[in-house]
Amino acid sequence: MTAPSARPVTKLDKTEVLGGLFASWDSIDGVLAGLADTDWATPTALPGWRVHDVVAHIVGTESMLLGIPTPEADEDLSTLDHIRNGVGVMNEGWVRHLHDETAADMLGRFRAVTGDRRNVLTEMTDEDWNAVTATPAGPDSYGRFMRVRVFDCWMHEQDIREAVGRPSADPEPDGVAARLALDEMGSSMGFVVGKLGKAPDGSRVALELTGPLARTIRVVVDGRARLVDDFGDLEPTATVRADGLLFTRLAGGRSAPDDHRDAVEFEGDAEVGKRIVEHLNYVI
């Protein structure tokens, strides 16, 4: 009997991915440095989290990647309404642990932990970069894990900017971090279109993103849903068109489709398109 083939390992350019991750950290630093202390208490689109809590989450994740254990909580965090899984429990552990830190101390922690991580990542060998490890997307290369980190940090930058009224157009949202974040999101669109959106066999779905984050993500369903570069000479059976930043907010669960009915356009099989948008929130 032939053993099933192993899942392919995603190999990504270390310089490019780290450039995106470091750029994202720099951009977050720039936003945080310009905030008043009161801004840190502003609620974000993430249930139960203020700007302070979003930063605590980033600090906590990078701390864990340095081998620092998650702080013990004095209550069962899994019972909180906004906690959905074990990852959420770990995240909340750091949020609670750092809850009373001042804005200045939090900014200092962010700079310290990302500085330490820069050093570790820069010195990492190509062998370790391409080695298979546990990632939020399942077993894959450490490089893929770091692209997920770009996605997560870039999304949280938008959470902070949205909360304090500093839109992503400042700076321009079409840099390397945004591009890598969308690459990571795009890699999951086969799952979204086929598994969650239940596009039928034979579907050719085009997700057309407009604005500064413009790109087209194409998915075909032929027994399974998969990403393709083009549909050959064939037209899409369903097209979903939306601003790129709105797409990221919907996919990240930061916004509800019903709140943006007039901002999303459909062509072809609108029923399939609407079902995909309704299930676009795939982020854990």
Whether residues 145 and 262 share a domain: the answer is: no
pLDDT value at residue 75: 57
pLDDT value at residue 257: 83
Residue 255 banded pLDDT, cuts 50, 70, 90: confident
Whether residues 240 and 199 share a domain: the answer is: yes
In a domain, 7, yes or no: no
* Cα distance between residue 92 and residue 74, in whole Å: 12
What's the average model confidence in pLDDT over 168-177? 72
Whether residues 169 and 33 share a domain: the answer is: yes
pLDDT value at residue 13: 97
CATH of the domain at 40: 1.20.120.450
Whether residues 114 and 168 share a domain: the answer is: yes
Whether residues 105 and 22 share a domain: the answer is: yes
Q: Decide which of 260 and 3 is more confident.
A: 260
- Cross-strand bridge partners of residue 215: 209
* Cα distance between residue 23 and residue 10, in whole Å: 22
Among residues 184, 205, 227, the one where a domain terminates is 184
Cα distance from N-terminal residue to C-terminal residue, the chain: 36
Look at residue 82 and tell me whether its pLDDT is greater than 80.
no
Whether residues 216 and 117 share a domain: the answer is: no
pLDDT value at residue 155: 95
Give the residue among 175, 176, 157, 177 at the shortest CA–CA distance from 167.
157
Whether residues 164 and 230 share a domain: the answer is: no
Domain holding 133, by residue range, is: 14-184
Amino acid at 266: F
Whether residues 173 and 266 share a domain: the answer is: no
Q: Find the range with the poorest average confidence among 50-59, 72-81, 172-181.
A: 72-81
> Per residue in 31-73, pLDDT tens?
999 999 999 999 999 988 999 999 999 999 999 999 998 777 6
To the nearest whole percent, how much of the chain has pLDDT over 90? 76
In a domain, 161, yes or no: yes
Whether residues 37 and 132 share a domain: the answer is: yes
CATH of the domain at 246: 3.30.1050.10
Residue 6 banded pLDDT, cuts 50, 70, 90: low
Whether residues 196 and 273 share a domain: the answer is: yes
Whether residues 242 and 127 share a domain: the answer is: no
What is the tally of structural domains in the chain? 2
pLDDT value at residue 84: 58
Whether residues 193 and 205 share a domain: the answer is: yes
Name the pTM for this structure: 0.90
Look at residue 76 and tell me whether its pLDDT is greater than 60.
no
Look at residue 190 and tell me whether its pLDDT is greater than 60.
yes
Instruction: Determine contact, residues 155/252, Cβ cutoff 8 Å.
Output: yes
* Cα distance between residue 104 and residue 110, in whole Å: 10
pLDDT value at residue 83: 52
